Amino acid sequence: MKRYLIMLLGLACMSFIYTGCTKEPLNNLSDEESRIYITDHDSSINFTNYKTFSISDSVAVIDNGQMTKHLDDVDSAYLNAVTKYMEQEGYTLVSNEQNPDLGVDVNRIVSTTTGVISYGDYWGYYNSYWDPYYWGYPGYGYYVPYAYSVYQIKEGAISVDMLDLKNAPQDKKINVIWTGLIRGSGIFNQTVADSQVKALFDQSPYLKTN
């Protein structure tokens, strides 16, 4: 029995020494390898019932709990990419005055510390900034019929949200029927915007209008 315990202790020590000397694998990832794409949607929705969309003219930046409206080259690149892939899915871009079926927003979530960002908290900030009046629905709020959390946000994230303007309900809550989120290193760069947005749409084949 003693011999068996000594062997186990020896193996445990060897394992500790090996793992202690091994480099942290996450530190060796390239920017592209570090990126994660998350999409979610209201499974009760048939996206073929929607034909037109309007997109916000700027990006909401949520920086450590503070929100601002922003538009620089990076923001424009993401807005243009979302417009491009929405049109490739068969949707037609229209103005807010033309009663679009969908409203689309792009948002930057920035965190300078490692922690947990719950989507419920994010929508608390978001709802106080992007008033549904922007889409022509004064007095309304937003409602997310699904939820998830993103853990260990270090640099930040970019989210794309799709709002159901066609079926604005009587309870003054506009449903968020699709969300795409990108997190990882190097995402706040206009040269990668197109490929990042494409990854979200590739992951969501149900978005096609026909």
* CATH code, domain carrying 148: 3.30.160.670
pLDDT tens, residue by residue, 122-177: 555 555 556 677 777 777 776 666 655 444 444 688 999 999 999 987 677 889 99
Residues spanned by the domain of 90:
36-207
In a domain, 15, yes or no: no
In a domain, 170, yes or no: yes
In a domain, 138, yes or no: yes
Q: How many domains does the chain have?
A: 1
Contact 192, 163 (CB under 8 A): no
The predicted pLDDT at position 163 comes to: 94
pLDDT tens, residue by residue, 40-86: 999 999 999 999 999 999 999 888 778 889 999 999 999 999 999 99
In a domain, 24, yes or no: no
In a domain, 144, yes or no: yes
In a domain, 181, yes or no: yes
The predicted pLDDT at position 24 comes to: 47
User: What residues contact 155, with CB distance under 8 A and at least 6 apart?
Assistant: 110, 111, 183, 184, 185, 187, 188
pTM of the shown model? 0.69
Please check the confidence at residue 119 and state whether its pLDDT lies above 80: no
